[in-house]
Structure 1
Amino acid sequence: MRAAAAAEGKRLRAFTVEAEVRFGHPGDVHAFTDGRPCRMVVDGHPAPAEN
């Protein structure tokens, strides 16, 4: 899709939502991960045209 947009001289429309995940107690963090904060990223772009 990016190449098709570039070929038409257009930008590919997209968005991103980023958040940092934190827990109330240190033990909760360790139960979920190895102790580092985690980031969740959600992005979106137009769906390709159906043939």
Structure 2
Amino acid sequence: MSEPTLNDIQGNVPEPLLPVEKKLIGISLGTGIVLLVILAIVSRYLPATF
């Protein structure tokens, strides 16, 4: 049998995310993906020359 984790010992259970937290996570991921695509496009058509 596995040993109990710290959460088991303290009796903590993870709480579900609030709707606003889910929205912030989605916005952050969406912004990151959009900026990554923009960076890829810019670096494709304007390569660094030095």
TM-score by length of 1: 0.21
The structure that has the greater radius of gyration is 2
What's the TM-score once normalised by structure 2's chain length? 0.21
Greater length-normalized contact order (CA 8 Å, ≥ 6 residues apart): 1
Higher strand share: 1
Structure with greater helix share of residues: 2
